[in-house]
Amino acid sequence: MMSQSSSSDANSISRRWGPLCNCGRATSVTKAWTNENPGRRFFRCGVHGFINWADEEKPFGWQKVSLLEARDEIRQLKESLKAMKEQMVGLPVSASNDHLKKHEEEKKKLEEEKKKFEAENKKLEEENKKFEAEKKKLEEEKKKHDEEKKKLENEVICANEREKMLRQLIVLSWGCFIVVIAMCLGMGKK
Ligand SMILES: [Zn+2]
């Protein structure tokens, strides 16, 4: 309790009793961490910086050395922590961005190939349709041709039958003629 109240008292006293800067602004107490004055408190103006030392005695001896060592150790730790944070935050984000870009490029390529493939497929389908239409035409022509062939065959058959009939007629008429002549000759002899 005693130490707490005394330290807070010291802070408030230093604030209250701190000198004003030449510009008229109030000063605040800050610790210096230079090689000459590690941990030594001074009054500081927000605009003009150092005004005066708050701790009258300069740091010296083993305390000064250990303060400097602690200061350097803290600085190194802060730097390594900063580097670690940058590695943690920076690298994965950029890596994932690169990955995303590659992924999007591959996606675009695939879509372009898909479009090409679909265009070729359409062409093939159109050619197939044309081919089928030509096939139908050819089949129709073949049917017509077959029908005409059948007609011709029928006509040939009819013509043959007519010829047979004609021959039979001719044969019959010749027969009749010969019979008539024979009868006439027979009549003449009698
Ligand atoms: Zn000032």
pLDDT value at residue 24: 87
pLDDT (average), residues 21-50: 92
Question: Is the model's pLDDT at 37 over the cut of 50?
Answer: yes
The residue among 100 and 39 whose pLDDT is bigger is: 39
Counted domains in the chain: 1
Q: Per the structure block, which two tokens stand in for 63?
A: 């305390």
Residue 14: inside a domain:
yes
Residue 104: inside a domain:
no
Residue 11: inside a domain:
yes
CA 22 to ligand 1 center in whole angstroms = 6
CA 17 to ligand 1 center in whole angstroms = 16
CA 44 to ligand 1 center in whole angstroms = 8
Q: Per the structure block, which two tokens stand in for 118?
A: 């679909």
Closest C-alpha to 15, from 35, 41, 48: 41
Residue 181: inside a domain:
no
The residue among 50 and 100 whose pLDDT is bigger is: 50
Closest C-alpha to 53, from 30, 71, 33: 30
pLDDT value at residue 112: 95
CA 45 to ligand 1 center in whole angstroms = 5
156's enclosing H/E stretch is helix 61-189
Residue 135: inside a domain:
no
For ligand 1, a single-atom ion, which residues have Cβ within 5 Å?
21, 23, 25, 45, 47-48
Residue 134: inside a domain:
no
Residue 176: inside a domain:
no
Which structural domain range is residue 54 located in? Answer: 2-59
Residue 12: inside a domain:
yes
Q: What is the pLDDT of residues 148-187, one digit of tens each?
A: 999 999 999 999 999 999 999 999 999 999 999 999 988 8
Answer for the pair 50, 42: CB distance below 8 angstroms, yes or no: yes
CA 46 to ligand 1 center in whole angstroms = 7
CA 48 to ligand 1 center in whole angstroms = 4
